[in-house]
Amino acid sequence: MLILGLESSCDETAAALVTDKREVLAHRLARQDEAHRPFGGVVPEIAARAHVEALAPLVEAALADAGVTLADVDAIAATAGPGLIGGVMVGLVTGKALAHAAGKPLVAVNHLEGHALSPRLADPDLDFPYLLLLVSGGHCQLLLVEGVGRYRRLATTIDDAAGEAFDKTAKLLGLGFPGGPAVERAAKDGDPRAVPLPRPLVGSGEPHFSFAGLKSDVARKAGKFPAADLAASFQQAVVDCLVDRTRIALGKAPQASALVVAGGVAANGAVRGALEALAGEHGLRFVAPPLWLCTDNAAMIAWAGAERFAAGLTDPLDLAARPRWPLDPDAEKVRGAGVKA
């Protein structure tokens, strides 16, 4: 089974061809860093226009890389949300047009399900259920992944996402854009114990997250400490929060067969190392996708499409694009949580 995947929900435009045997036949990606750098963050309107320019040529290039045509594809998977709505619409409409023109089924993929299932593309031995720490630019959640389309949210952030905190810290410290990798690079030359910073919610009995107070404290201390020490201390504070909260969630998910991390922040070496140690303490397998599969890409969308298609799930051509789309629609609202819950 061969699936074409399309991704355009934030600032990466991507197309990939993936088989149900976990072969990535092609994956093409265009970043928009230069377009957004002057603003120090992603500008939705600029992102949407860039997707319009980049996506169709990327699809052609991916098909050529794989040596296949649309006729060889079994289904077309496109991100249908959540994300910046202009970009999501570009990818979803492109997916619908290709599906219609080639007479292939459309599989609408929740971008978060792409992240959530991406570790299974990388690791054929990862079975359900697993505990997933989903840490990205827009989300910070702990989910029990019970199967394709079956997610139980155990925790979420009550304010900022972890990736957002990395990006804002990079901006405050003048480390540049994109922020996460810049903070990690700067932290290598710093002392993680040099700057006292808070660990919001650490020790509380429910495994939710909060990063707004940490970010504000970095803002207060910026310029008063060397940037490398602040970067290292900030990164350590995030790691401590993620590990403490994940430990609580593990206590609530004894059925989990593995601890899994996915999303852009999973590319961070300190985060991966600390979670691996936590899994070891619990005698659990630790699974993290390779770095290129952590940040946004279309291979994870194609793979989630393959898993959904194999389960008989396809979508109609009048399906709406969704700016918000929780993985667990039954999750309770968390006190204090904003719209990102």
Q: Which of 167, 296, 307, 315 binds Mg ion (CB under 5 A)?
A: 296
How many alpha carbons fall within 13 Å on the CB side of residue 174?
4
User: Contacting ligand ATP (CB under 6 A), which of 136, 157, 233, 246?
Assistant: 136
Nearer to Mg ion, 169 or 297 (CB): 297
- Alpha-carbon distance of 225 to 98, in angstroms, equals 53
11 lines the binding site for Mg ion (CB under 5 A): no
SS3 153: strand
166 binds ligand ATP (CB under 6 A): yes
**281 Cβ partners below 8 Å, 6+ apart?**
none
The dihedral through the CA atoms of 136, 142, 147, 149 has a sign that is negative
Give the list of residues 6+ apart from residue 276 with CB closer than 8 angstroms, or none: 286, 288
Which are the contacts of 139, defined by CB distance < 8 A and separation ≥ 6? 112, 156, 157, 161, 263, 340
Q: Which stretch binds Mg ion (CB under 5 A): 121-129, 221-229, 237-245, 292-300?
A: 292-300
The answer to whether residue 180 forms part of the interface with ligand ATP (CB under 6 A) is yes
Considering only the stretches 17-25, 119-127, 263-271, 280-288, report the one whose residues sit in contact with ligand ATP under the rule CB under 6 A.
263-271
Q: Which does 163 bind (CB under 5 to 8 A by kind): Mg ion, ligand ATP, none?
A: ligand ATP
* Listed ranges 26-34, 52-60, 172-180, 218-226: which one lies at the site for ligand ATP (CB under 6 A): 172-180
Least distance to Mg ion from the beta carbon of 27, Å? 15
Helix (H) or strand (E) holding 232: helix 227-252
167 binds Mg ion (CB under 5 A): no
Binding site for ligand ATP (CB under 6 A): 9-10, 83, 111, 115, 136-139, 163, 166-167, 178-181, 184, 263-265, 267-268, 295-296
